[in-house]
Amino acid sequence: MSESAAEINSLKMAELNKLNLPKFWREILQIAGPDMFIKIWRVASCPENQWKQDKIYVPSIKKYQEFQCVQIIKCFIESNMSCTEITKELEKHGMSRSPDTIRRIARKYDLGEVPLR
């Protein structure tokens, strides 16, 4: 008798849920699924990956969000948008950056002078 992949996956999920893991790890299990979760858990539990005894360092997601914002700003600058246009476009997506910040990014990545308007 052959069990379907969905049934096997469901059994693995049930087994892992019985471990009464902290909420953080249960959320990762729900997002990643049982097989990927086990891979993540193995990597995280290796002594060489632990920051202090039985602890791992988790960087803030803000680092990634800031990286994404800079990439978006760079694309807008390369599309010859002004600081005002870029600011308005970013605000549509819940990101707030000043014209000075946009100009600083342009200088940092040698994208040329960005007009204010």
The answer to whether 72 and 66 have CB atoms below 8 angstroms apart is no
With a cut of 70, say whether residue 2 has pLDDT above it. no
The answer to whether 51 and 57 have CB atoms below 8 angstroms apart is yes
Is residue 109 classed as helix, strand or coil in its secondary structure?
Answer: coil
Q: What is the mean pLDDT of the chain?
A: 90
H or E segment and range at residue 101: helix 99-108
**Both tokens of residue 19?**
């471990």
- pLDDT per residue as tens digits for the range 43-90: 988 888 877 777 888 888 998 998 999 999 999 998 999 999 999 999
CA distances from 16 to 2, 39, 54 (A): 22, 13, 20
Which pLDDT does position 1 carry in this prediction?
Answer: 45
The answer to whether 102 and 73 have CB atoms below 8 angstroms apart is yes
Please give the backbone phi and psi of residue 52, each rounded to the nearest 5 degrees, phi first: -130, 175
- pLDDT per residue as tens digits for the range 16-52: 999 999 999 999 999 999 999 999 999 988 888 877 7
